[in-house]
Structure formats: C-alpha cells, structure tokens
Amino acid sequence: MNHTMRVSITAFAVSLAAGAALVLGAAAPVQAQTRPNLAMDGQWHFVAAPYVWFAGINGDVSVKGLTEVPINESFSDIFENFHFGALAHFEGRKDRWGFATDVMYLDLHAGVGTGVPALSRVDLEATVKSLTTEGLAFYRVATGGAKDNPAHLDLLAGARYYRMSNQLNATIPIGGAIAGDKKEFGWADALAGLRVRAPLGARFAFIGRGDVAGLGSKFTWNLEGDVAGSLSEHWTLGLGWRHLSIDYDKGTGSDRKLFDAALDGPRTFVAYAW
C-alpha cells in the first residue's frame, strides 16, 4: 500500500471516528424532522438515490488461460477513457429499524502491467465487468442535534453478492485486435459495518460508511465519504469518494478465479426522499 493510500485511509478513518463521536455526544431524543428521510415519527420513510461512480482499478485478476494479470487504471486515466460505474441505492426506515439495497454495475477497461510475461510489442488491455448487489438491515443506535439536520449513527449487517467477468484484449503492431475468452465467476459475502451522519451547518452533512466482508472472499473492506447538501425538503445532492478493496482467490492452475484489486474514485449522487 503506497503512502498516499495510507494517508487517505487514515484521514477517512479519523473523520468517521470523529463523526461517530459527535453523534454519540449529541445523542438525545429527537421529535419531528422537516426532511422525511430523517424523521423519527413512527412512519415508514424511503430514499431512492442513483449514483455515478468514476472508479479506477488497481490489482490482479485472472482471465481464461492466464492465472494472474496485473491491471491498473488511475484516477486520471478514468477521464481520458471515460469508463465509469453506476449505482442505484434504495432504503426504507421506520424509526430506528431499516433496510437498504444497492445494485452496482461497473465496466472498466484497464492497461495490463508491464510485468506480464507477454509479447512486449503487443498492447494488452483487461476488461473487467462486475455486477454487485447488496442487501442489508440497519439499526439507528443514536440520534441527536438539530431537528431539521440531525446526526445519527447506524449499525449495518447484511450480504453482498459479486459477479465478475474478466477478459484480456490484445492489439498487435500490424493494426489487428484480438479479444480473448472471458472468465466469469461469482460469490457472496456477509458484511457488517457502521454508517454515520454528522451535520455541517444548517443544510449540509458529512455521511461516512465503513464495512468489512468475508466468507466468500478472503477479506473485503469498503470506505465511503460524502458531503450531502439539501436542495429542498425531498431532494439532496451529494459528492464524495469510495474505496472498495476485494481479495478473492479460489482454485488453481487454469481454473483459478482471482480478483485481488481495489476500486477507487469519486462519485456523485442525487437522492429523493419521501
């Protein structure tokens, strides 16, 4: 892990811990809220939020015929090639109990590292497509702060399912292109984590989430941080960053299924609550 990544993770962890401390320190009974998704009024409230995630990728994957291929596409490469991920989030809550689901599709094209023992004059590119679905329940352990822009802390528990498709493509010097065979595989993880909301003035808030997952993969961890601004009673606009690190490795030889990589980059969302 490079120095920049360690600094980013440390800074995010400190922000998440500070937000959690703010929530617990300010915890107090909250009556009616102006915004429906924040209300503690005995009624069901829902949020629908489509996301766009400009995710880069760095790590190793397996493709058919090759057990390990290093791939890398930095944040700057994302805008050059404009490959991105789309995420749809939906959740419902009644007082302290709630549920949430995510559906995420990623289509990433990444250059293959120079260490691959392949022909030096062949331009190699890996295509990684993934469909990730998540279902979880949460419990709001603490609330506090202003009625119209409160703080809260949620405990999360659930499962995440991954479906991966990895393909190696080659461009040869004479101008031809060769598309390799795909390697497809999937697995499910159990996950647990925390989510915190800390107000920033009257109309903005920091929303952070951290979770760990496993059983299907060796180990997966996820960190998210967003600044959300209220546009109206029902509409919210947000901008933030997400880092998802996955370590999955099963099988041997040509049957090896490997996805040991980190997805990282900025994201933006618009949410409607009722």
**If you count DSSP H runs as helices and E runs as strands, how many of each does the chain have, helices first?**
2, 12
pLDDT of residue 152: 95
The whole-angstrom distance between residue 148's C-alpha and the CA centroid of its chain comes to 28
pLDDT at 9 over 50: no
Q: What is the pLDDT of residue 49?
A: 96
The two three-digit tokens of residue 181, written as one number? 């065979």
pLDDT of the residue at 128: 80
Of 163, 162, 180, nearest to 171 by C-alpha is 180
Bigger pLDDT: 240 vs 72? 240
Label residue 169 exposed, middle or buried (CB < 10 Å: 0-12, 13-18, 19+): middle
pLDDT at residue 55, rounded to an integer: 81
> Which of 7-16, 66-75, 84-93, 147-156 bottoms out in mean pLDDT, i.e. has the lowest?
7-16
**CA angle in degrees (0–180, nearest 5) for 161-162-167:** 170
Contact (Cβ atoms closer than 8 angstroms) between residue 120 and residue 88: no
Q: How many structural domains are present in the chain?
A: 1
* 62-103 per-position pLDDT tens digit: 877 666 778 777 666 656 555 566 789 999 999 999 999 999
Q: What is the mean pLDDT of residues 194-217?
A: 95
DSSP state of 27: B
- Strand bridging mode 85-94 / 44-53: antiparallel
Q: Is the pLDDT of residue 177 over 50?
A: no
Mean pLDDT of 124-152: 88
Name the pTM for this structure. 0.77
Task: Please give the residue range of the domain that contains residue 163.
Answer: 3-273
Q: What is the reported pLDDT for 5?
A: 44
CATH of the domain at 210: 2.40.128.100
Could you tell me which of 88, 85, 113 has the C-alpha nearest to residue 264? 85
Q: Average pLDDT of 141-154?
A: 90
pLDDT of residue 183: 79
The helix or strand, by DSSP H or E, that contains position 184, with its residue range, turns out to be: strand 177-200
What does the block give as tokens for 175? 């101008």
User: What is the mean pLDDT of the segment spanning 49-71?
Assistant: 81
The predicted pLDDT at position 115 comes to 54
Mean of all residue pLDDT scores within the chain? 80
Distances (CA, A) of 259 to 57, 130, 270: 11, 11, 30
pLDDT at 170 (0 to 100): 61
pLDDT band with cut points at 50, 70 and 90 for residue 166: confident
Query: d(Cα 174, Cα 177) in Å, to the nearest integer?
Result: 9
Strand partners, 135: 101, 159
Rounded percentage of the chain residues whose pLDDT exceeds 90: 45
Q: Which of 7-11, 154-158, 164-168, 249-253 has the lowest mean pLDDT?
A: 7-11
- Of residues 14 and 269, the one with the higher pLDDT is 269
Report residue 218's pLDDT band, with 50, 70 and 90 as the boundaries.
very high
Provide φ and ψ at 47, rounded to 5°: -135, 130
Residue 17 confidence class, pLDDT cut points 50, 70, 90: very low
Task: In whole angstroms, give the CA distance from residue 109 to residue 168.
Answer: 10
- The pLDDT assigned to 20 comes to 46
**Maximum distance among all alpha carbons in the chain?**
71
What pLDDT score does 75 carry? 62
The answer, yes or no, to whether residue 114 has pLDDT greater than 90, is: no
Residue 56 confidence (pLDDT)? 81
Residue with tokens 């040869």: 172
Tokens of 24: 């617990």
User: Which DSSP letter does residue 76 get?
Assistant: H
